[in-house]
Structures are given as C-alpha cells and as structure tokens.
Amino acid sequence: MAIGERIRFIRNLRGMTQKWLGQAVGFPQKTADVRMAQYESGSRTPKEDLVKALANVLEVSPLALNIPDIDSDLGFIHTFFAIEDIHGVRAEKHGEEVHIVFDGSKRTMDESIFKMLSAWADQAEKLRNGEISKEQYDHWRYTFPAEDTTQRWAKVPSQELSDLLIAALKEDNE
C-alpha cells in the first residue's frame, strides 16, 4: 500500500474528512481538501515534515504511513501491520512460537493471495519433509510464479507490446 493509500486508510479509520485533515496540518481552508486528495491519489508525495505532521494529527507513527523498509526491524513489523489492514492477517502465539495467520475464510483475504500462500506452504512442507532440497525450494521461491504448478498463470504482455498489437489489429480492420 502506497503512502497515499495509507493516509486515506487511516484518515477514514479516524473518521476524518480530507478537508479537516488538510486544515489540521496547516493547509488553507480553500485548498485543504484538494491538497489531501492529491496526496491520497499519489499525484503528489508528501515530504518528510508533512508525513510527520500527518502522523501526529492521525495519532500514528510516521512508519505507519511510509512505505516500510523491510530490511529494518521497524519497517518489517509495519509491513505486517499493513498486510493486516489489507488482507486481514493476524499474529498468534503458540507456546514459544509466533505465527502469522492468513485466514482464507475472511472476506478481506483475496482468494488468489491465499492460493499463493498455500502453494508456498506446500513447498515449505516438502522441504521440511525432505521431499525437495533447499536448492529446489529456493529455485521455486525465486522464480515464482514460473515454477508453480498449483495454479494457472498467464504471462501478460508489456504495455508497449499490447499497444502495438492493438494498433495492428485496428489497421487490419480498417
């Protein structure tokens, strides 16, 4: 989820309008809603000082708004928080282990994502059971979805190729 989507999500969670939030961070009343709409749509990207001001008004960490850096511990956990918001995951403790649970019966979980996670879990189980090697497991992960046999995957042509094909078809039909 991009920063604009995170701002919109948390603003709506707090029951705020774009105009109210824009004014709260210091935009003039006349343009506050337009400016917030630009940030939320992604046509503008807020600078660090505005992100901090938005986070303050929304009563969240700036990390909850920014696109997380998964290489840092805080970025990693905020990535999971965003995944919870988007896909309805949850963290559960089982003894000394913490599990991230992706519940396929939840409406917020996209069926295709659940199928991908299930395919991953199947491969991980094969690795644990000794049915495949670590090299085979890594190959499967790093080439996904090309080597996945659990689902049907279609290669989508680039936009440029698609445009060329459409133009050629239009010429043939004229």
Rounded-to-integer distance, Cα 156 and Cα 128, Å: 34
Q: Give Cβ neighbours of residue 65 (< 8 Å, ≥ 6 apart).
A: 3, 6, 7, 10, 51, 54, 55, 58
Residue 148 and residue 119 in contact, taking contact as beta carbons nearer than 8 Å:
yes
Domain ranges of the chain: 3-67, 110-174
CATH superfamily membership of 3-67: lambda repressor-like DNA-binding domains (1.10.260.40)
At 98, list the tokens. 């913490």
Apex 108 CA angle, 91 and 148, nearest 5:
80
| CA 159/CA 79 separation, integer angstroms | 29
Q: What is the pLDDT of residue 149?
A: 73
- Prior bond of 145 cis (ω within 30°): yes
- To the question of pTM greater than 0.85 for the whole model, the response is no
> How far is the C-alpha of 139 from the C-alpha of 133, rounded, in Å?
10
| DSSP letters for 98-159 | EEEE--TTSTTS-HHHHHHHHHHHHHHHHHHTTSS-HHHHHHHHHHTTTT--SS---PPPPH
pLDDT at residue number 115: 83
Burial class (CB in 10 A: 0-12, 13-18, 19+), 127: middle
**What pLDDT score was predicted for residue 24?**
97
Distance CA 143, CA 153 (A): 13
Chunked in runs of 10, what are the mean pLDDT values of the chain (174 residues)? 89 94 97 96 94 94 85 88 82 92 68 82 93 90 79 61 76 73
